[in-house]
Structure 1
């Protein structure tokens, strides 16, 4: 599983803790803030605090956090690919 990481959205710092099944627990100001899950390519859903079921109401902050998570994961995959390519060149 992916390690926790930090993102910044609109000058707000969030700590992101990946969970199974494209779900992420988000911390803000050192406290658990919300859980989100990827729904579609550019659509993210907030999960209900009590039931952990997706809430299908639009939430711009959740989508911005999700976009930052996607961008972070893409950067991380690119870094891993570069590392793998460097190791192949050593042989």
Structure 2
């Protein structure tokens, strides 16, 4: 999965998937937080030092997670992709 942007309210976030339902989130152009999916509605912030999940409810983290789940990746035009490969 490629990085993508989400907007919650008036705040823009850049989302960089790391695999296994773990994401690095950038806010205002700076690395902001690492999060991990627990359930569809519950997401966990990862400790900055140990990278272990912090089991505390954080509505901003959950809102980011819900936006990630709702994100539909843009489909690439297959014709362009094939042409790019032939060039």
Q: Distance in 1 between matches of 2:67 and 2:39?
A: 15
1:87 corresponds to: none
Unaligned 5+ runs, structure 1: 84-91
2:60 corresponds to: 61
- Show structure 1 runs of 4+ deviating over 6 A: none
Residue of 76, 82, 90 corresponding to 2:73:
76
Q: What whole-Å deviation, never above 9, does each CA across 1:43-83 have from its counterpart, x for those lacking one?
A: 000000000000000000000000000000xx238x58xx8
TM-score by length of 1: 0.79
Q: Distance in 2 between matches of 1:34 and 1:26?
A: 5
Q: Give the structure with the larger helix fraction.
A: 1
User: Contact (CA 8 Å) 2:16, 2:23: kept in 1 or not?
Assistant: yes
- Displacement of 1:27 after TM fit? 0.2
TM-score by length of 2: 0.82
Q: How many residues align?
A: 77
Q: Distance in 1 between matches of 2:38 and 2:49?
A: 19
